[in-house]
Amino acid sequence: MEKWLEAFERRPAYLATKSDYYTHVMDIPPQYGPGQTVSEGEPFQKAIDGREGWTLPLPPLTGEDLEPVLDFWNPGDEAARHEAAFCLTSNFKAVAKFAARAAGSDVGSWQRNGGFSKSALADPYAKAEDSIIPDVEACLAHVANALLNGTDKAKADMKGAQGNAEVQKACLEYLRKRISVPRDMSYPAARQFRAHIGWVISQL
């Protein structure tokens, strides 16, 4: 069975549709109902939902991880960071406006009006707060800088950052929770993106 599944992962067409555990966990409740937790699963839950593990420095990906990445499709940390930066910068304006929903109106109304049949993270009625978009763009530029040039360079460039830090943090966290694999990027890239957003949040 393991060899059969490994053979699937050697096919580019399969990898292009391969999701990650976090995306699956957040997708499933609206389809099948809310999951039931057990105390024994708490360490795994924390590792998957970002309460632990979405922070820098990240350990290298291996085939022995909770969410294994086999050698033949592991791009390495640098390439994963570059993929994340490319996905961010190639759609920069739209990503910033999306993140600015956290400061706008109707956040969460989709689920409030639909109950468990609606995803908590799918927020189609939320409206961005346009006045905060320049601040969000500045924060995301720091994320891209950290991804491409490292956190030391990004930290030096962040000196004198302006704006409402709490609102900026809320917008970055809103985005971080909604990074979807494979819709937005691969799992290795999403892992780097989530962690680097978290790093910028910690610096604000």
Mean pLDDT by 10 residues, the chain (204 residues): 88 91 87 81 92 94 94 95 98 98 90 75 91 96 98 89 90 97 97 98 94
Cα(48)–Cα(195) distance, integer angstroms:
13
- Provide the CA 4 distance to its chain's centre, in angstroms: 29
Q: Tokens for 98?
A: 């999306």
pTM: 0.94
Using the structure block, give the residue that is written with the tokens 């033949």.
Answer: 72
User: Which pLDDT score, from 0 to 100, does residue 102 have?
Assistant: 96
User: Which pLDDT score, from 0 to 100, does residue 144 have?
Assistant: 98
User: Which pLDDT score, from 0 to 100, does residue 185 have?
Assistant: 97
Does a cis peptide bond (omega within 30 degrees of 0) precede residue 75?
no
User: Which pLDDT score, from 0 to 100, does residue 23 have?
Assistant: 94
Cα(193)–Cα(144) distance, integer angstroms:
9
Instruction: Please name which of 62, 1, 53 lies closest in space to residue 22, comparing C-alpha atoms.
Output: 53
Q: C-alpha dihedral over 182, 180, 95, 202, to 10 degrees?
A: -130
Cα(83)–Cα(8) distance, integer angstroms:
22
Alpha carbon separation from 88 to 28, 96, 176, 184 (Å, rounded)? 26, 9, 12, 9
Whether 126 and 177 have beta carbons less than 8 Å apart is answered as no
